[in-house]
Structure 1
Amino acid sequence: MFRNPGGFVRVSEYYGIGRSQGALDFVDVDITDDVPVYIDPGMIRHLPDDWGKECLLMLTTFFDSVLDAVRKNDKKRARYLLGHLGEPNETHLGFSAGRSAGRGFGKQMGVTLAEKLAASQAAQTGLIEDLEDTAFFIEKVGKDIVSDITTNIIRGPLIAYTQQMATVFGIPMEEGVASGAAWNPHSQDWEHGYVRLPIAGDRKLLLVPKVIVRRDLHMSRSEYYRNHLVPALQSEELDKPSSRLVRTLKDGSRRVWVGDIKAHYGSTKPDVTRESLLRPDIYANYREIKRKSAPPPISHGELSEISNTPLPDYEKLLTDVLQTPAGKDSAGEYHRRIEALLSAVFYPSLVMPELEEELHAGRKRVDISYTNVAQSGFFAFLGKHKIKSTYVMVECKNYGKEVGNPELDQLSSRFSPLRGQFGILACRSFEDKDRFLKRCRDTALDYRGFVIALDDDDLRELVADVLEAVNWIPADPPPAEPEVQPRVENYPLLFRRFKALVN
């Protein structure tokens, strides 16, 4: 079992889950220390599923309430809203020296932030619209504070997510644990209650989906300054006939050096705030660009490096599936092992697996449901070609060779225009594979959805393709014809199977 240097214990180790970070949807934090990643509201804004939309509603209504109070000079309301923000030590994210202890974001920090927003021209004029904007224009607010505030606001969904993961992995939960302040977006007020949560050691634990964390925020002050504000200032100086910052080169061309811009205008947060207030369109344009471009989720490699956890062992995960005995008695084990394998293989295209998700008020169930957040590769291809795939459904059949029309119809009956119309049927083998693939094609041509069937041999090929992409090294010396680097997210087997459905 992998352990961090120094004897730190991960959630997976503490509870004996039997998986490492690569096959887990949540950040596998140490139960006493912090992992230096941060919850990024920019990631949440681009989650297409119901959980993400719920979180976004909370973020939007909370900060709109804060700004409304600030602009109305309602100091009591602003202090009340921000004064309920506490130290979210239960997530074990961010950075602290030694035992996880937050960054000092207590009630006083909330009151201080309220005062800073009240005095901020950026907040009064509308330059600050979203929580992330505060990291640009409010002193002593950075990614750690933005992450802490976000954690407080979305505590309710994080509690629900933690309860779901605890149920899946058999993590014990205690009754009557104080939830902490939870934001209600409908009443626009803080609520308190008692919930079921895991207690790791002597402290409650909140698990966080790894898809919403990053090393740095999507909205970057340095990026904004370097790529947006500085070029605008350079252009302004070039337009001034007598600018002292313009240099004429030997060829007659005129230039304004970045260093001269920094020396003249400054580059500190107050400097950026001052110049942005004079040119609000520049920041508004930057913010709009960032809103439209979804940030890439943290990769297996990044999270492994940051958290000092092992990379996914794809071959071990595959072996676990292949060694599962076929038959009804091992159906549950096969289901769990398929989820572990696919969660590692398909990340970061597919995230937040739900096991045994109920549909139609419990009248139907789907074995596994993933949220599709792909930005490139096969699962992004589906969306670009108008194949509804917000959720990708997986059915697991641990049969011998009897998979047929009933199993295919069962999966296609789970499809809908809202949930999605693409799914995967994982099984062991077929009596007549070609015949079954033709049935999948018939289902697609009848407008009943798109099903790709994967048996044991297909899973071997899928993992082999992933390993080829992960371990690819360019030829040395380079060949005459440029090489095309294989990419994990392309999943060539899935592309071939999908094309066979529609061609």
Structure 2
Amino acid sequence: MYNISTFFKIDGQQPKLEFVDIKLSTDNLLFIDPRLIEISDSAVAKEMQLRIEAFWGELIKAVRAKNQFRVNQLLSGLSEPHETRLGYSFSKHSGNSVGEKLKPKIIDAIQRNKAVRTGVLSHFSDVELFIEDIGCDRISDITTKIIKEVLVEYTQKQCELLEIPMTEVWQNDMFDYRTYKWATKKVFLPVFADKPIIFVPKNLVRLENSANSNLNSFYRFAIRNFISNDTEMLEDISPTGKNGEIKLRDVKGKHPLNKESLTNWSIKFGKLLVDYKSEYLNDRLNPLSDSEIMEIVYGQGYSQAS
């Protein structure tokens, strides 16, 4: 099993590298996290965020204008990215990615979503909280495609630094944030088994289960801090506590977790999403440690790192 470090004979493994030392011929169940890009102060992350904001801002504008042609054009480049080897690129689960069959479904979900239309969903990093069929795998794929140009440039600099040979290859779906168009370009990249490789900064990836944790955390925060304190939301709830006290389990039973509810609550309670991020989420956003990444790229599988 080759990793980048072993195949290219780099002196040192993951702790000495700035990028994820991926296994080259199979899945690496790590996912690019747009939240980590958003909070990073690195020059590379700022270039990525510039493209993410340009893409998402233009997409929202097209959705609100009901410009179907523009929406389809913007989302046309979101095919599965295989070059990073992250997520489900090589496995039988590749159907989880943003493929041609899934793309129309995601386009429809984005267009119909009230959080997008009302402006509640103004940050791309919050997409997974509100839009059905978009979890950590798909948000990672979409992010990868939007920032691909930056990742290619980052890879080239790392290759020059580490004296890794590169080959001129064609790359499709390179997003140009100045024109909002997708382009095909010839670029230089390292190659393994005749397939190009794109490196990903290790401080921008997360584990698979952290996405579900984020969704559940947002739900619990909403229940505790907003739903449980709103008399209208507590109507018709049968209390199970002593002396008729409504317990949290009663509120959850009446208002179970689903993204449609989270959307409606965020519209109803204008501070919900802002408070969640400032009072809960932001303090818990941290890059993975080298040891956590090593469990994935050198270990026997994701289950050992969960």
TM-score by length of 2: 0.87
1:422-437 matches, within 5 Å, as none
User: Which of these residues, 101, 104, 112, is aligned with residue 105 of structure 2?
Assistant: 112
Q: Secondary structure of the residue that 1:129 maps to in structure 2? A: coil
Q: For 2:254 and 2:233, how far apart are their aligned partners in 1?
A: 16
Q: For 1:180 and 1:29, how far apart are their aligned partners in 2?
A: 22
How far the C-alpha of 1:258 sits from its partner, in A, is 2.4
Q: For 1:168 and 1:97, how far apart are their aligned partners in 2?
A: 28
User: Which of these residues, 75, 80, 85, is aligned with residue 82 of structure 1?
Assistant: 75
Q: Secondary structure of the residue that 1:81 maps to in structure 2? A: helix
Q: Report if aligned partners of 1:229, 1:282 keep a CA contact under 8 Å in 2.
A: no
User: Which of these residues, 213, 217, 224, is aligned with residue 223 of structure 1?
Assistant: 217
Q: For 2:137 and 2:131, how far apart are their aligned partners in 1?
A: 13
Q: For 2:236 and 2:109, how far apart are their aligned partners in 1?
A: 35
* 1:198 corresponds to: 190
| Percent identity (aligned) | 27
Higher RCO (C-alpha under 8 Å, 6+ residues apart): 2
Over 3 Å counting, the alpha-carbon distance change for 1:204 and 1:233 in structure 2 is same
Q: Which AA in structure 2 matches 1:58?
A: R
Over 3 Å counting, the alpha-carbon distance change for 1:102 and 1:89 in structure 2 is farther
Q: For 1:239 and 1:23, how far apart are their aligned partners in 2?
A: 52
Q: Report if aligned partners of 2:28, 2:297 keep a CA contact under 8 Å in 1.
A: yes
Over 3 Å counting, the alpha-carbon distance change for 1:204 and 1:239 in structure 2 is closer
User: Which of these residues, 183, 208, 223, is aligned with residue 175 of structure 2?
Assistant: 183
* 2:166 corresponds to: 173
1:443-454 matches, within 5 Å, as none
Q: Report if aligned partners of 2:84, 2:198 keep a CA contact under 8 Å in 1.
A: yes
**Segments ≥4 residues shifted beyond 6 Å:** none
How far the C-alpha of 1:91 sits from its partner, in A, is 0.4
* 2:29 corresponds to: 36
Q: Which structure's CA Rg is the greater one? A: 1
User: Which of these residues, 134, 137, 140, is aligned with residue 133 of structure 2?
Assistant: 140
Q: For 1:79 and 1:239, how far apart are their aligned partners in 2?
A: 38
Q: Secondary structure of the residue that 2:96 maps to in structure 1? A: coil
Q: For 1:217 and 1:77, how far apart are their aligned partners in 2?
A: 29
User: Which of these residues, 67, 73, 78, is aligned with residue 66 of structure 2?
Assistant: 73
1:337-486 matches, within 5 Å, as none
Over 3 Å counting, the alpha-carbon distance change for 1:301 and 1:245 in structure 2 is farther
How far the C-alpha of 1:274 sits from its partner, in A, is 3.5
Q: For 1:163 and 1:292, how far apart are their aligned partners in 2?
A: 32
Q: Secondary structure of the residue that 1:182 maps to in structure 2? A: strand
* 2:304 corresponds to: none
How far the C-alpha of 1:277 sits from its partner, in A, is 3.3
Over 3 Å counting, the alpha-carbon distance change for 1:282 and 1:98 in structure 2 is closer
Q: Secondary structure of the residue that 2:230 maps to in structure 1? A: helix
Q: Report if aligned partners of 2:241, 2:247 keep a CA contact under 8 Å in 1.
A: no
The farther-off stretch of 260-269 and 138-147 is 260-269
* 1:14 corresponds to: 7
Q: Does 1:233 align with 2:223?
A: no
How far the C-alpha of 1:44 sits from its partner, in A, is 0.9
Over 3 Å counting, the alpha-carbon distance change for 1:293 and 1:135 in structure 2 is same
How far the C-alpha of 1:288 sits from its partner, in A, is 4.6
User: Which of these residues, 23, 38, 45, is aligned with residue 45 of structure 1?
Assistant: 38
How far the C-alpha of 1:270 sits from its partner, in A, is 2.8
Q: Which AA in structure 1 matches 2:248?
A: V
Q: Report if aligned partners of 1:42, 1:291 keep a CA contact under 8 Å in 2.
A: no
Q: Report if aligned partners of 1:247, 1:255 keep a CA contact under 8 Å in 2.
A: yes
Q: Report if aligned partners of 2:237, 2:250 keep a CA contact under 8 Å in 1.
A: no
Q: Report if aligned partners of 1:238, 1:246 keep a CA contact under 8 Å in 2.
A: no
How far the C-alpha of 1:179 sits from its partner, in A, is 2.1
Over 3 Å counting, the alpha-carbon distance change for 1:89 and 1:304 in structure 2 is same
Q: Which has the higher helix share?
A: 2
Q: For 1:102 and 1:213, how far apart are their aligned partners in 2?
A: 21
Q: Does 1:161 align with 2:154?
A: yes
Q: Secondary structure of the residue that 1:220 maps to in structure 2? A: helix
Q: For 1:245 and 1:136, how far apart are their aligned partners in 2?
A: 28
Q: Does 1:275 align with 2:269?
A: no
How far the C-alpha of 1:269 sits from its partner, in A, is 2.5
The farther-off stretch of 10-19 and 96-105 is 96-105
CA RMSD of aligned residues (A): 2.7
How far the C-alpha of 1:285 sits from its partner, in A, is 2.5
Q: Report if aligned partners of 1:17, 1:169 keep a CA contact under 8 Å in 2.
A: yes
Q: Secondary structure of the residue that 2:222 maps to in structure 1? A: helix
How far the C-alpha of 1:165 sits from its partner, in A, is 1.3
Q: Report if aligned partners of 2:223, 2:251 keep a CA contact under 8 Å in 1.
A: no
User: Which of these residues, 288, 292, 296, is aligned with residue 302 of structure 1?
Assistant: 292
Q: Does 1:121 align with 2:75?
A: no
* 1:376 corresponds to: none
Over 3 Å counting, the alpha-carbon distance change for 1:206 and 1:74 in structure 2 is same
Q: Which AA in structure 1 matches 2:192?
A: A
Q: For 2:217 and 2:123, how far apart are their aligned partners in 1?
A: 18
Output one character per residue of 1:177-199: Cα deviation in whole Å (capped at 9) or x when no partner: 11221222222322221100111
How far the C-alpha of 1:121 sits from its partner, in A, is 1.4
Q: Secondary structure of the residue that 1:73 maps to in structure 2? A: coil
Over 3 Å counting, the alpha-carbon distance change for 1:113 and 1:99 in structure 2 is closer
Q: Secondary structure of the residue that 2:179 maps to in structure 1? A: coil
The farther-off stretch of 144-153 and 215-224 is 215-224
1:255-274 matches, within 5 Å, as 255-274=245-264
